[in-house]
Amino acid sequence: MQDNQNPDVPPRHGVQRIFFGHDGLRAVWSILLFLVLAFALGRAIFAVLGGYLHQQQLVIKSTGELPVTFTLLMDSVLFAVAALVAFLISRIEKRNFGQYGIDALRPHRIRQFAVGAVFGVATMCLLMLALKVAGVMTFNGLLLHGTDIVKWGALWALAFFAVALAEEYLMRGFLQFQLARGVAAIAARMGHREALCKRIGFWVAAGFFSLLFGLLHGNNPGESPIGLVSAGLVGLVFAYSLWRTGSLWWAIGYHAAWDWTQSFVWGVADSGGVSQHRLLLTHSQGPLLLSGGLTGPEGSVLVLAVILLVTAIVALTLKAEPGSPAAESNVSSL
């Protein structure tokens, strides 16, 4: 995520200095441009889809369950809008689009995505096992059989891949990069050395968007205080994987697999939302602090132990890669 700094570029003067710095368009204008363009484009697309979205919302209200097509469409549009606007701004800034967190799926990144997905499945299953042993989770049998398992499993896998793409890119992609760049520039004016400026910029931005990620979950039905805290903390863990690799692919794999295993396989609530056409019929019981109640496993106090485990997994399995924020900041493998 290295900036395109060019020492041969002459200093900006007058009005130019308001909009451009030594590394191109100033971060604040990049962020504002992104927000304005994304809002306008998203509003136009959702206006076209208004009739369909209204029908789907009626289905959600009547059944209390999320349709897979609604989830897939909404998050695909959100990601497509964000990625398109970020690409257009990358042309203005003359930056590589991959600097914003989602680079080409080369073999190395495919492995990271796959490993993240494996850990997402494994840690969700570990959490469900812990809830079962604690006596606060009951499994009531299969809801799907035969080819329906493959059909709906595949559709939900696509839907949660779209969810992971949209949420990770909006929270830890383009905007994270730009805010980190802006904060680093402020730190540089205060006289801090470059490596420390980049470190400060990254983690201030990561902290802000992780807090925002947690707060936004408050709009979900059935969300709880522990659910909000766990969402914010896992946002920091995903930012940690970006710090080590310079890419969001590990986080996207983990995020998609965690949601898929939780919502489709185990059939439990995810931040209060229950998916249609899930594999298992499952319900919680007992103390809300332990079971998670309507929030689902993410509302259980046990999820905090899982988040600590995932932090250790990132620290032990993802090394600081060349070009990553960790490497640019001259940070040790810790």
pLDDT tens for the 334 residues of the chain, in order: 444 444 444 455 656 777 777 777 888 999 999 999 999 999 999 899 888 888 888 888 888 889 999 999 999 999 999 999 999 999 998 899 999 999 988 999 999 999 999 999 999 999 999 999 999 999 999 999 999 999 999 999 999 999 999 999 999 999 999 999 999 989 988 888 888 889 999 999 999 999 998 888 777 777 788 989 999 999 999 999 999 999 999 999 999 999 999 999 999 988 878 899 999 999 889 898 999 888 889 999 999 999 999 999 999 999 999 888 988 876 444 4
| pLDDT the model gives residue 222 | 73
E-only strand ranges, 143-232? none
What does residue 165 show for φ and ψ, rounded to 5 degrees? -60, -50
Tokens 């398109």 correspond to 84
End-to-end CA distance of the chain: 19
Alpha-helical segments (H) within 246-302: 249-260, 288-291
d(CA 205, CA 185): 13
Which of 227, 223, 220, 270 minimizes the C-alpha distance to 120? 270
Q: And the tokens for 2?
A: 């290295």
d(CA 254, CA 165): 11
Neighbouring-strand partners of residue 21:
24
21: left (phi over 0), alpha (psi -120 to 50) or beta: beta
d(CA 173, CA 167): 9
Q: And the tokens for 126?
A: 């570990």
290 CB-near residues (< 8 Å, 6+ apart): 131, 134, 136, 300, 301, 302
Residue pair 303/326 in contact (Cβ under 8 Å)? The answer is no
Own/partner pairs for 77-81, CB < 8 Å, 24+ apart?
A: 77/42, 77/45, 77/46, 77/49, 78/42, 78/166, 78/170, 79/162, 79/165, 79/166, 79/169, 81/38, 81/41, 81/42, 81/45
| pLDDT the model gives residue 15 | 65
Residue pair 172/242 in contact (Cβ under 8 Å)? The answer is yes
| pLDDT the model gives residue 318 | 94
d(CA 249, CA 164): 10
Residue pair 248/79 in contact (Cβ under 8 Å)? The answer is no
